[in-house]
Structure 1
Amino acid sequence: MKDLGVLKYFLGIEVMRSNKGIVLNQQKYALELLADLGLGEAKSVCTPLEQNQKLTLVEYDESVQTKVNGDDLIADVTVYQRLLGRLLYLTNTRPNIMFTIQHLSQFMHKPKKITFGGCFRVVRYIKKNPGQCILLSATSKLQLIAFCDSDWASCPMSRRSVTGLYVKIGESLISWKSKKQTTVSRSSAEAEYRSMTAVVAEVMWLNDSKVALQIAANPVFHERTKHIEIDCHFVQDKIKDGTIQMQHIGTTEQLVD
């Protein structure tokens, strides 16, 4: 064991301290990504994904090497996979690209030029503010506050909905996720309920001090272990016993969006 002093930089994440708390950012990592892709002088964009853009998988006949929809497949898929992996690591401090990365991750095996261009757009979006950070406040109240929402039937390929969740301790953001739901919801209400169940399971996992001991004993934990109770009555039980309180959030105040 060797004491390396106060933590300042580790695995691409910069750590800065002040009286207000601890700030985490990946500015150096982001700037290196821009330089490696030759986008240092590129024009930045205001959104990580083009508005109303729906990317879909392409059917590809390996025997005759033909393509459909007029889009060329990328010859070397590892180039796309490596770039997406680097962008995925940036979600450690940038929850605002989480939905886009989740969307682009569906094309790992058969990426097209348009989806590759989508990755480049994310990088140009990052260029707008490469030093975006997360503040872990020194004065946050020890109260979990969670937001959740769903994008009903948003996947054009499977018509599955996407769950978004966002959890804070006081004013400090500690957990976020954008994930396609495992089943097709026949109504927006059903999609919202599945989203609600996911965020309640996340809150209960974070609230359970025993989990820390379990992870310490067995670090090879899969995220599915957090969601043992997935029955619809799970949420109702937590409301009845006073563990959680539900509150409707208007569109303008919905942080998870």
Structure 2
Amino acid sequence: MVIILVYVDDLLITRNNINMITDLKGILNRNFKMKDLGELIYFLGIEVLRSQEGILLNQLKYAQELIQYAGLSETKVALTPLEQNQKLTTAEFDEVIQQHQEDTLIEDKTVYQRLIGRLIYLTHTRPDITFAVSHLTQFMQNPKQSHIEAAMKVVRYIKREPRLEIFLKAINKHQLVAYCDSDWASCPMSRRSVSGFYVQLRDSLISWKSKKQCTVSKSSAEVEYRSMTAVTSELVWVSGLFKELEISVTEPVRLFCDNKAALQIAANPVYHERTKHIEIDCHFVREKIQGLITTEYVSTIDQLADVMTKALGSQQHSHLISKLGLKKYCYTSNLRGSVERIIWG
């Protein structure tokens, strides 16, 4: 099998047979004017380093350019992306509740929009800022001074350690693990909840998401179950992708949730008035529990997806990020840019 990833005029080619790549390059060269850059080192702002232990992904150069673009090269660093318990609201909401503050609209909203756009791209290798960026995107239309200050704090947090990397370990046994969580009625304007999840291939982070739910839920169990439905959909897609790539994945997939009520709803086949409004979600999850997934309880302290649903204190934030394997790795490199040995991590 040979796989080609195409982005405009850039191509990545991988395979399980080196001869197929040689043949493919010959076919492409006969039909198009192309240049072979050799092994992948840098692609779309993402640096790729290899070793016998696995692959490292980072956006160090992009992060440094972002810090310089924001003009924060000489400022102090922040320990977390967002201030804990900070409630950001829109100007329209402030008028409705008649809250008069000195928090005025910024004159040029494109400054805020461009900064958030740059932060969005950085989330490709920085899941630790995903919730903060997702939260700040809802103020793109009419940003206030508090919003630009919060966005600048995200940049100051990046400045603390611009080279946080995702480590994809080289493994033989492919076992998927997922964590899902939610923050009930956290939006002060709409009282919608935030869902978040992580998907790992053994100890390697491969998928994550933070998003405000589309409907208002009347209980924390309901929002947790909707979050469980979202990660189950992702697991169905990831499992299908692996099968298409002829990669054997061990089933069932372990899905961790910290809400016992949601776990009981998933296990209990009896419907009642409290769950009939989420009946489709219940049927979907229970159908997958029969073969694809198995649900397990995890304590809130060790719930990795917690960092995707709310702003945490510096200690808990650092604890969860380290559990995800997102850290600065130390290694020695050869002249070609490949990693010879990972010293720790």
Normalising by the residue count of structure 1, what TM-score does the alignment of the two structures yield?
Answer: 0.87
What is the alpha-carbon distance in structure 2 between the residues aligned to residue 137 and residue 39 of structure 1?
34
Report the counterpart of residue 142 of structure 1 in structure 2.
174
What is the alpha-carbon distance in structure 1 between the residues aligned to residue 140 and residue 44 of structure 2?
24
Deviation of 1:140 after TM superposition, in Å, equals 5.9
Report the counterpart of residue 254 of structure 2 in structure 1.
none
Give per-residue Cα distances to partners, 1:120-156, cap 9 Å, x unaligned. 0000000111000001111263111100000000011
Give per-residue Cα distances to partners, 1:181-220, cap 9 Å, x unaligned. 010010000000000000001001111149969xxxxxxx
Question: 1:248 corresponds to which letter in structure 2?
Answer: Y
SS of the aligned residue for 1:165 comes to strand
1:140 and 1:171 in contact (8 A); partners too: no
What is the alpha-carbon distance in structure 1 between the residues aligned to residue 152 and residue 244 of structure 2?
38
Gaps of 5+ in 2: 1-33, 94-98, 246-278, 307-345
1:208-219 → structure 2 map (5 Å cutoff): 208-209=240-241
1:59 and 1:68 in contact (8 A); partners too: no
Report the counterpart of residue 74 of structure 2 in structure 1.
41
What is the alpha-carbon distance in structure 2 between the residues aligned to residue 140 and residue 3 of structure 1?
30
Report the counterpart of residue 23 of structure 1 in structure 2.
56
Report the counterpart of residue 292 of structure 2 in structure 1.
243
Question: 2:157 corresponds to which letter in structure 1?
Answer: Y
What is the alpha-carbon distance in structure 1 between the residues aligned to residue 280 and residue 111 of structure 2?
37
Q: Count residues in correspondence.
A: 236
Change over 3 Å in CA distance of 1:140–1:178 after alignment to 2 = farther
Report the counterpart of residue 86 of structure 2 in structure 1.
53
Identity of aligned residues (%): 61
Does structure 1 residue 177 correspond to structure 2 residue 209? Answer: yes
Give per-residue Cα distances to partners, 1:54-78, cap 9 Å, x unaligned. 0000129xxxxxx953321011111
Q: 2:65 aligns with which of 32, 36, 57?
A: 32
SS of the aligned residue for 1:168 comes to strand
Gaps of 5+ in 1: 61-66, 214-228
Q: Which has the higher strand share?
A: 2
Report the counterpart of residue 144 of structure 2 in structure 1.
112
Normalising by the residue count of structure 2, what TM-score does the alignment of the two structures yield?
Answer: 0.65
Deviation of 1:40 after TM superposition, in Å, equals 1.1
SS of the aligned residue for 1:144 comes to strand
Deviation of 1:242 after TM superposition, in Å, equals 2.3
What is the alpha-carbon distance in structure 1 between the residues aligned to residue 65 and residue 241 of structure 2?
38
Question: 1:77 corresponds to which letter in structure 2?
Answer: K
Q: 2:111 aligns with which of 75, 79, 82?
A: 79
Report the counterpart of residue 162 of structure 1 in structure 2.
194
